[in-house]
Amino acid sequence: MATSLFFSTPLVHPSYSDREVRGATFGKLIGSSSFNQKGINQSCRKRTFTVTSLFGRKAPVKSKRETVVPEPDYRIPIVLLGATGGLIYTDNLIAAVPVGLLGLLLLVQATRVRFVFDDEALEVKVGSELKESGENVFVGGKNRWKYSSFVNWEFWWPNFPILVYFKETQTKPEGQIHFFPIIFNGKQLYDTMVERAGSSVTSGPK
């Protein structure tokens, strides 16, 4: 029996006792478990970092276009007031009165009304401080229209622009038409409209 145990022990380990073998084996198991746990923790941290990076990544922010405010232009009021003087000179007072009043009105409007083109919409504002113009007295609603609602727009007449026309679906789904006298720099106004609202059928002012 002793011989059997003697030969069976070396088969387990040639130089350590049974207690030492069990201790070493248990230590290996503990070490292996610690290593595996450490690896799992590292893997979890990596996965957590990956998930955090994935969900924490910000979408690229689209840069906003600068706000454009075309400069005032007094050519139309001056022409109307000049025509008024000519009508008075020829004693045509009946025609001179409405033409003169219109010239004075546009002259005042040119000093105070501004078209403001921001990143997403055209808005009518008042004064050098660009205050709100309130509701539109003709069709209601705020005097602000998104470019995406524009159906079409035109200049009359490109070489000497007098009126700007545009149709939008923001005020009414079927479309609302607007006319404004061009009391702004015609070239600057046209270029900005093309950039923000798309091209027009008419050619630009020269």
pTM across the whole model: 0.67
Q: How many residues does the chain have?
A: 206
Query: Per-residue pLDDT for 137 more than 70?
Result: yes
Backbone angles phi, psi at 173, to 5 degrees: -60, -35
Out of 32-41, 59-68, 139-148, give the one with best mean pLDDT.
139-148
What is the assigned CATH class of domain 112-197?
mainly beta
Residue 29 has pLDDT above 50, yes or no: no
pLDDT band, residue 59 (cuts 50/70/90): low
Half-sphere exposure in the Cβ direction for 84 (13 Å, CA): 15
C-alpha closest to that of 125 among 184, 47, 192: 184
60/105: higher pLDDT: 105
**Which residues have a Cβ under 8 Å from the Cβ of 74 and sit 6 or more positions away?**
107, 110, 183
Q: Can you give the pLDDT at residue 28?
A: 44
55, pLDDT greater than 70 = no
Which residues, in sequence order, are bridge partners of residue 192?
none
Q: What is the pLDDT of residue 15?
A: 42
Q: Is the separation of the CB atoms in 113 and 130 below 8 Å?
A: no
Per domain, the residue ranges of the chain are 2-56, 112-197
- C-alpha–C-alpha distance, residues 85 and 187, integer Å: 28
